[in-house]
Structure 1
Amino acid sequence: MEQRSYICLNCQNPLRLEFAQRRPDSADSEKKSETVITEALTGHSRNLMKLISDAQFPSDAPVCNVSFTFLKTICFFIPIFQDCSDALVKEMDAQVTTLDDEVKTYQTYITYLKENHPTTAIPELKAKLQNVADEERDLELQLKKLLCEEEAIDTELQTKRRAAEASSETSTELWKKYRDNLRQVFDDQDELHSLESERQYAEVQHRKLIDTNVLDLCFHIWVDGIVGEINGFRLGYLKEAPVEFTEINAALGQIVLLLEILLERIGVQHHELVPVAMGSHSYIKLRRNGNDIENYALYGQGTPLSGSSGIDAGIRRFLQLLEFLLKELKDRNKNFKPPYQIHAESLVDNGVKYNAVMTLNTDVRWSRAMALMLTDMKAACAQCDALRAPI
């Protein structure tokens, strides 16, 4: 009997095969068996249980200590080191048990299906399944379409988001510019209001200055009782209230200066007489044909009304200039009427003449004449201011 060397497919140990009846000596069978065993021994993927189940002869699936009955022929593989048949049988029994459980489960489910789902509804269920499959396919197509749309929308959203960020930055810059410009506008408005207030204040002050008679401010004339005064200097003399010539000379210098200003203000000049303001030594100049003829002093010394003052001629010339001024003012304003009329060297008050010269005059009458003359001067100041062109 021919002996071959085999290896257990499970433990890979050498086996000795004893045949009770040899398998048919066929070249094809021998070649096939060797090919299968070679595949098993070389580690090709092959199911051991399937290999044993498909074996027709013991040599087709050598395993330790396992017996096969094929056509009432018994053969044994005698293991040299260990037996593997028990483990294989146990595994096969476990698989059979598992398969029996699965068969029972499937049988139970089949019974349940038969009881609850009769076979008459199978075409309907197949149609419904087909509809569901078609719907699923349509939904998949819609899903693909929606995914494409979502991708396009995401792309557009990203583009718009970048544009929005750029627009936000631009908006921020514009807002900053607007804020700065608005602050500048507010500052300019505040400055404009301040300038407008200053302008209005300046306009009010200017109007006040326009309405103010500068001559009244510069030459304050005041008559209290009999004796009058100009800029604080008394122009009069009473025995009970005597006034020195120094004060009278200063007062006469003030009225000469005022007369000179009034003539200049209305733009006229006497053809012969010229007032010359020299403070306490003022005088009236007589000029003819451009030549100075004589000076008439308006300042004296000694005791007033003593007859030796030497200012009577100057007072007469002053009254001539004052009368000339009042006549010029009346020519410009027909409604103007001097408070007191001048006749030669006297002033008239209610038909009473008061002589302005000191010679052969009383202190009361002379003081009254000077007060009347100061009143005419004050009226002339007011009329000159009224004739001023409006600004």
Structure 2
Amino acid sequence: ERANRLFALLSARSDIDHPICTECTSLLLSSLSARLSASLRERDAYTAFLTHLHQTTPTPSSLAAAQTSLTSAREAEEEATTTLHSLERTQAALATELASLSESAASLDAAEAEFWHSHNTFSTSLATAQATHASLSAAATHDARLLDLLQRTNVHNDSFPISHDGTFGTIAGLRLGRLAAHPVDWPEINAAWGHTLLLLATVARALDVKIHGYELQPLGSTSRIVALRGGRKVVLELYTSGDLPLGLTFLHRRFDAAMVAFLACLKQVGEGIGGRAMPYKIEGDRIGGECIRLGVAQDDGWSSACKYVLTCSKFLLAHVSNAGLGRR
């Protein structure tokens, strides 16, 4: 019973239930021995530390130095804290400035986008304007060339083309003259005289030359010249109605008078240009020494006289062209 009470007491004071076997006792002893060794080592460490404390007790001078070092450390801490607070305030200001700059950057980005949109719109408008300008420039160049061509085009030369067909002079493709070997129909000759009279009237009007004593009436194949003689008008027919033989003066009298009157009018217009003599001299019924009368001249002489008439008429046309009076 005593043993049981002893075992119960031991069990209450430890974590091990008693009694225990020999093997468990050996293990317990080993464990307790290890714990004892650890406790001894801890005791020795404490003892060595206590001995060291006793051996290194600070002196008043070391305490004063330590106090001074502590004060300096605290001052450095306060200065570092102040600096830290300043840096924090600076950081806050920089954060505010960064936010403001970010807003400005966003505004600039929007302005840049608007600028490029406006730039693209302007570029498109500019390209359209340049294309329109190029088109207008091309049109202006074309119109300038056309204007120059029109300015170099003479209405009179176009309306009264004078040339020759073999031995005959021609106006508007109509032969003015007649040879026995090369007979020309009188309707063609009458039409040629009508064109020549119209040419003379046109040139006189362009040069503002007043023909004295005569009135020109270009009427195609039935053209006439009205002679003003002593207050009365005499109609001279610049055409003939039939193939009349040459050399018979009285049969060609009215036609001859009209051709002589034409020479007189041609001479007045030629004198009206001033300073320039016509290619062939006109004296009465002769031009270039050839007689214009059918009743007097031979057929080749009359044809030559008609050719000289056309040459002088072309000379007057050239003068009108050079003076710029016949430009379109």
TM-score range, shorter chain: 0.7 to 0.9
- Cα distance in 2 between the residues matched to 1:240 and 1:224: 14
Which of 172, 176, 187 matches 2:113? 172
Matching residue of 2:238: 298
Alignment of 1:242-253 (within 5 A): 242-253=183-194
Hey, what does 1:322 align to over in structure 2? 266
Tell me the TM-score normalised to structure 2 length: 0.74
Match for residue 231 of structure 1 among 172, 181, 200: 172
- In the superposition, relative to structure 1, how do residues 343 and 389 fare at CA in structure 2: closer, same or farther (>3 Å)? closer
Name which of 198, 219, 229 aligns with 2:160.
219
Determine the structure 2 residue equivalent to 1:162. 103
Q: Is the contact between residue 285 and residue 293 of structure 2 (CA under 8 Å) also seen in structure 1?
A: yes
> Corresponding residue for 2:195?
254
The answer to whether the Cα contact below 8 Å between 1:298 and 1:315 also exists between their aligned partners in 2 is yes
Q: 1:166 to 1:129 in 2, by over 3 A?
A: same
Matches of 2:229 and 2:87, distance apart in 1: 122
CA deviations on 1:52-90 (whole Å, 9 max, x unpaired) are: xxxxxxxxxxxxx9xxxxxxxxxx9x99xxx76424999
| Deviation larger for 314-323 or 220-229 | 220-229
Task: Check the 8 A contact 1:305/1:361 in 2, yes or no.
Answer: no
User: Once the 2 structures are TM-superposed, how far is the Cα of residue 339 of structure 1 from its aligned partner?
Assistant: 0.4
Q: Which runs of 5+ in 2 are unaligned?
A: 18-27
Q: Is 1:141 aligned to 2:82, yes or no?
A: yes
Residue by residue, what CA displacement relative to the aligned partner does 1:289-322 show, whole Å, maximum 9, x if unpaired? 997x232222223326545465222211211111
CA distance in 1, matches of 2:321, 2:101: 79
Partners of 1:110 and 1:317 lie apart in 2 by 166
* Correspondence 1:65-104 to 2 at 5 A: 85-87=13-15
* Aligned residue number for residue 313 of structure 1: 257
Matched positions, count: 301
Calculate the TM-score normalised by the size of structure 1.
0.63
The alpha carbon displacement at 1:388 in A equals: 3.7
Matched, 1:343 2:283: yes
Q: Secondary structure at the match of 1:300?
A: coil
C-alpha change, 1:346 and 1:130, in structure 2 (3 Å) is: same
Determine the C-alpha separation between the residues in 2 that align with 1:138 and 1:303. Answer: 142
Q: What is the aligned partner in structure 1 of residue 321 from structure 2?
A: 385
Are the aligned partners of 2:165 and 2:175 in contact in 1 as well (CA < 8 Å)? Answer: no
* Other-structure match for 1:272: 213
Q: Over aligned residue pairs, what C-alpha RMSD do you find? A: 4.2
State the partner residue of 1:32. Answer: none
Q: What amino acid is the match of 2:308?
A: L
Which structure's residues are more often strand, by fraction? 1
Distance 2:139 2:110 in 1: 43
User: Which runs of structure 2 are paired with 1:167-206 in the superposition (5 Å)?
Assistant: 167-206=108-147
Q: Distance in 1 between matches of 2:92 and 2:197?
A: 107
For 1:330-361, what per-residue CA distance to the aligned partner results, in whole angstroms no more than 9, with x for missing partners? 2xxx2x1100011111111xxxx111121132
- Note closer, same or farther for the CA distance 1:110–1:153 as it changes in structure 2 (3 Å cut): farther
SS of residue paired to 1:311: helix
The CA deviation at 1:194 is 3.9
In the TM superposition, residue 262 of structure 1 has moved relative to its aligned partner by: 0.7
Larger Rg: 1
CA distance 1:132–1:303, shift in 2 (3 Å): farther
Amino acid of the structure 1 residue aligned with 2:14:
D
Gaps of at least 5 residues in structure 1 are: 1-64, 66-75
- Matched to 1:258, the amino acid is L
CA distance in 2, matches of 1:387, 1:255: 21
Higher normalized contact order (CA 8 Å, seq sep 6+, divided by chain length)? 2
1:16 is aligned to none
SS of the counterpart of 1:285? strand
Q: Structure 2 counterpart of 1:326, which letter? A: G
**Within 1, Cα distance between the matches of 2:278 and 2:42?**
148
Bigger helix share = 2
How far the C-alpha of 1:326 sits from its partner, in A, is 0.5
Aligned match of 1:367? 303
| CA positional deviation for 1:271 | 3.3
Instruction: State, as a whole percentage, how many aligned pairs show the same letter.
Output: 24
When residues 178 and 389 of structure 1 are mapped into structure 2, their CA distance, relative to the original with a 3 A threshold, is farther
Residue 69 of structure 1 aligns with which residue?
A: none
On the 8 A contact 1:355/1:365 being kept in 2, the answer is yes
CA distance in 2 between partners of 1:316 and 1:262 (Å): 19
CA distance in 2: counterparts of 1:106 and 1:311, whole angstroms: 169
Does the 8 Å contact 1:347/1:356 carry over to 2?
Answer: yes
Deviation at 1:171, TM superposition (A): 2.8
